[in-house]
Chain A
Amino acid sequence: ETGVTQTPRHLVMGMTNKKSLKCEQHLGHNAMYWYKQSAKKPLELMFVYNFKEQTENNSVPSRFSPECPNSSHLFLHLHTLQPEDSALYLCASSQDGGGSTYEQYFGPGTRLTVT
């Protein structure tokens, strides 16, 4: 595997389900990110992890719970989601921790549909 991988690519879940999104980066980077991409809106930063420590939580509802066990893996745990949470969820990584200097490398995303 190379670059940034995400699984699953597509997910349909009911509002009462619990599911997790997985991201893995094979680039040796120190920082990882979760973004939400919805139609007609700018890319929304959700969480930032630097050396496994969460450095940013962009006022994300608690029904989204991130986990970063090491610098290469990032999870997004989902529970009791709302239909408006349906979107493309993108994972990214970068060389630095704050996202202020280096470019980000993105995975293909998980298309989430909440029914």
Chain B
Amino acid sequence: AQKVTQAQTEISVVEKEDVTLDCVYETRDTTYYLFWYKQPPSGELVFLIRRNSFDEQNEISGRYSWNFQKSTSSFNFTITASQVVDSAVYFCALPLIWGLGTSLAVNP
């Protein structure tokens, strides 16, 4: 069975803090893709990143970075120097299988 676990339900930080959102997944597939999405208060889910299981290199995009560790089945997401606009629910997903999401509140 496939499963995505985001153990952190809610996180609250102060602006400029770094924050890491955890994601642990289960799959029997040898080749697979992982995704992160953001859902701001406006409600529209926005795609952030897609990662192929063959590629274990960390990815950085501005203040966002992702750490994919196949050995521990984890795909964690770090926001550096968080901003109020980062406040949202963040979802980790296997194809068509979603975690519960982590609600991030960044306070001024």
Interface residues of A (CB under 8 A from B): 40-43, 45, 48, 56, 88, 90, 92, 98-109
Contacts and interface: CB of A to CB of B under 8 A. Distances in A.
A19 B100 CA distance: 29
Interface residues of B, number: 21
A14 B43 CA distance: 24
A40 B35 CA distance: 20
Contacts of A92: 45
B21 to A, nearest CB: 16
A88 B95 contact: no
Contacts of A106: 37, 44-46
Given A42-B4, A106-B45, 15 more contacts: A40-B100, A42-B97, A42-B98, A42-B99, A42-B100, A43-B91, A45-B96, A99-B96, A100-B95, A103-B50, A104-B45, A106-B46, A107-B44, A108-B42, A108-B44
Contacts of A102: 50
Nearest to A107: B44
